[in-house]
Amino acid sequence: MKLQLCSYSGYKIHPGHGSTLVRNDGKTFVFLNSKCRRSHLMKRSPREVTWTVLYRRKHRKGQEEESSKKRTRRHQKFQRAIVGASLTDILAKRNMKPEVRKAQREQAIRALKEKNRAAKAAKKPATTAAPKLEKGKSAMQKVAKPMPKPKMAKTGGHGGRR
């Protein structure tokens, strides 16, 4: 004999106990005892009757142990490629060692200084000044990009001051 659950209270019905009711629409109800059966016939919802399993589930009684174990989902940070730089570029720049970065910076500064001097020298003869300045500026802009922003922004802005 199969151990059934009361369709009203949710308790187990051992063999030899309980009664069954079949409604005209075909729904079957198994009741543990006349208490459950009468409550059902009185149209009392088991969700409002305090001693039933359905009520306890609805009002989450006695389930604190299970809920505390539950963990909240952690959001995963995910590195994405941007339009200007692919994923490999971003990772390369991030993982660059500080010595390498410093060396790059110094190199860039030196290159800029050279170009500024060249630009100044080129200013004296007025005709050759314009194309050279433009060249210098575009080169500076190209070099400025990979550098940490706050430092180079200043120098990039004031091209000829140094």
User: Which residues pair with residue 154 across a beta bridge?
Assistant: none
Q: Considering the complex, state which of residue 19 and residue 138 has its C-beta at the smaller distance from other proteins.
A: 19
- Asked if 5 is part of the footprint of other proteins (rule: CB under 8 A), the reply reads no
Q: Considering the complex, state which of residue 28 and residue 68 has its C-beta at the smaller distance from other proteins.
A: 28
Two tokens, residue 11: 């308790």
Count of positions on this chain that bind other proteins (CB under 8 A)? 8
- Asked if 43 is part of the footprint of other proteins (rule: CB under 8 A), the reply reads no
CA distance between the termini of the chain: 97
Of these, 2, 3, 24, 42, which contacts other proteins (CB under 8 A)? 24
- The dihedral over CA atoms of 123, 125, 129, 135, expressed in degrees to the nearest 10, equals -100
Residue 53 CA neighbour count, 13 Å, CB half: 10
Residue 101 in contact with residue 146, Cβ under 8 Å?
A: no
- Asked if 3 is part of the footprint of other proteins (rule: CB under 8 A), the reply reads no
Of these, 5, 14, 21, 102, which contacts other proteins (CB under 8 A)? 21
Nearest distance from C-beta of residue 40 to other proteins, angstroms: 12
Say how far apart CA 61 and CA 39 lie, in whole Å: 22
Nearest distance from C-beta of residue 3 to other proteins, angstroms: 15
Positions in the binding site for other proteins (CB under 8 A): 19-24, 26, 28
